[in-house]
A and B are shown apart, each in its own frame.
Chain A
Amino acid sequence: MNGKVRMLFVVGCLVCLMASSVTLGTPPPVAAPVDTSGELANRQQVAAYQGASNANVAKSNAQRPITFSLDSYRATANHAAGNDGSWLSDPKPFLEYGYGHNRAKERNGLTTDTHTVTGGVICKTFADFQTGAIFSFIHAHGDSAGRNGVDYDEDGFTATFFISKNIQWFYFGTSLTYGYSGGIARTKPAANRFRTKIDSNTLVVCPYIGAIYVNGPFSVSTTPTYVYRYQDVAYRSGINPSTSEGISDGTFVLANRASYAVSEKLWVDFNFDYNQIIHEDESKYAQGSTDRGWLTLGPKFTYYITETAQIYLGYTATVANDDFEDHQINVGLDFRF
């Protein structure tokens, strides 16, 4: 690239930057640079990877016990039984399929489709605590357009263990999630195809405390939650020496839910979560978030097929996020024995 072209590129970038700042009033999306080296391609792949990895599934699973706590309030009938002293009782298995569509908002940003199969079991344990384990298997495929487009495939799993307790009108709990994923990111131009193998180990801790108010068929709840994530990512490519880095972030989530029992068999929930990144390590390779606060919201319909089996359909959209847009659809089956 000669000096004139470089100058034009810089001026173009500045114009784009000013225009986007004026129209959106937000930090500018990063313009995709022209691919000149393997290092650049590698960085872009990594950036793409960081935008949609199984860490998101790990985070989402880490917050699932909040739903279980709420369900045990609104959907479990009160009874007059003391604690039986058994370690595990009242098992409630569930199975869920989730489809997620994530699109980075930057120009030629990565579009990712994620398929997740989640299964788990929730039990009562000593002193009326609730405990359980959740396992997810994930396959993700990402794609980005443009001259430096990348695509990547990723397979992984997460395992979550949690413990929670309901005390009258409030509840608390914590979960610990471990996730592993392995993926390959590739640059698109066939002539200059760089591959990077990416392995990640993720650890998420999610303590929460919340309150619920139930009045007849209505219930509302709010749950302040802190989600801490530590992720160790290792990159291996043919061009660059293998590297790894450990990055962590902490997000405050105010998870709110309003529920209404439409009939004997149908529940409607509306989830409205506010997410705020409190702290975030700077990655050596990937861009961090420019937007530190956003909303996730959506309805969930639960239908009781029988007294012991229920199906649900949930939809969640991420809105007011300048970095990405995200849509999730979950279909699941719950049992209570």
Chain B
Amino acid sequence: MRRRCTFFGFFLTTVVIASAAIQCRCADRPFSPVARPAISTRYRVSFDSIVNVGYKWRRPMHGWAATELIIERTLRQWYSRLEIRPKSRDLPLEDLKVALESLPSSDQTDISIVYLASSQTRQGQWEFTRGTRRVSWPDLLGSINIRQHPRRIVLLDACHASGVMRSGLWSDRLAPSSFFASLEGERTYELNFRSPFRLDLPRRFPKANAWLRENMPADWDGKTSFFGLIWLQAFLKTAHPPETQDDWKVFLRLCRKESEDFRITHSRRLSSTVNGYVAPSVK
């Protein structure tokens, strides 16, 4: 028995040390410095976010909270006149209504970017972490009065995201422009930069990894939503911050291409199709 235990111990130790050495070698590989994009000083930009993380009956969505931070910090590198508004986390129904009603109008900001992340059902229902279990977007938007902003861009990072377009209320009342993390029939997944399992993200996305190491807090657990990675990849390939609606269209196309490349090159299973629409330019 002792010999057998010794053998197992030796075997496991060898495997762990070998793989740790491989990972250390990868981690220590000098990463290319991240080029800073140009900074836009022309427009007032605001960033609102509403994220559901702490579900009681399922795994918490830490990756989506990290995506919120990724988007915030990329916007900070793009726009000097960025206003980060209070972050809303795990809002029940009534508070969600209040948060949506208090989104800035066009008087307050030139570009309003809103990040919404939550668990969402196939029927396009937003799932709450507490209080009311879920609500459909048409019911929600039909019962509140949101201030209009022609240059509001809503980023919906949820499964079955573009399903919200089944009702015209989404684009009429809330989002003249939208980025969706997934198509109506798709799920969107969490990725992990700290575990090589399934996808060795630091090796496959060295620039994104370098940016994350530089910009994310030390206690970040390495998780991000798929949309967070795609947004970051598109950000790193964009030399000038999007200012006009046409710039946002180009950025949306880039996001879509990145998600398709991810599907072809890296993982079919962990990918979703980033899609959306951008309202025509405002004269």
Which residues from chain A sit less than 8 Å from chain B, CB to CB? 74-75, 77-85, 127-128, 166-168, 215-217, 260-264, 267-268, 270, 297-299, 304, 307-308, 317, 319-320, 336
Contact = CB atoms under 8 A, between A and B. Distances in A.
Contacts of A299: 8, 11-12
Nearest to A214: B195
Contact of B63 (A78, A308, A336): A78
A76 to B, nearest CB: 9
Nearest to B22: A263
A215 B192 CA distance: 11
A262 B20 CA distance: 8
Contacts of B127: 82
Contacts, number: 119
Contact of A307 (B11, B125, B195, B267): B267
Interface in B70-115: none
A82 B119 contact: yes
Contact of A168 (B60, B119, B267): B60
A168 B59 contact: yes
Interface of B: 1, 4-5, 8, 11-12, 15-16, 18-19, 22-23, 56-61, 63-64, 117-122, 125, 127, 134, 157-160, 181, 187-192, 194-200, 222-223, 225, 267-270
Contacts of A84: 121-122
Contact of A264 (B12, B117, B199): B199
Nearest to A315: B8
Contacts of B57: 127-128, 167
A270 B194 CA distance: 21
B267 A262 contact: no
A297 B11 CA distance: 13
A169 B15 CA distance: 26
| Those 4 A-B pairs whose CB atoms lie nearest each other, nearest first | A261-B197, A81-B159, A82-B121, A216-B194
A320 to B, nearest CB: 6
15 contacts: A77-B189, A79-B187, A80-B118, A80-B187, A81-B159, A81-B160, A81-B187, A82-B119, A167-B57, A168-B59, A261-B195, A261-B196, A263-B22, A264-B197, A319-B4
Nearest to B198: A264
B269 A307 contact: yes
Contact of A81 (B12, B120, B192): B120
B121 A81 contact: yes
A77 B269 CA distance: 10
Contacts of A298: 8
A82 B122 CA distance: 7
Given A77-B191, A82-B125, A216-B222, A304 B198 contact: yes
Contacts of A215: 194
A82 B8 contact: no
Contacts of B198: 75, 77, 264, 304, 307
A80 B11 CA distance: 38
Contacts of A268: 12, 15
Contact of A217 (B11, B61, B194, B225): B194
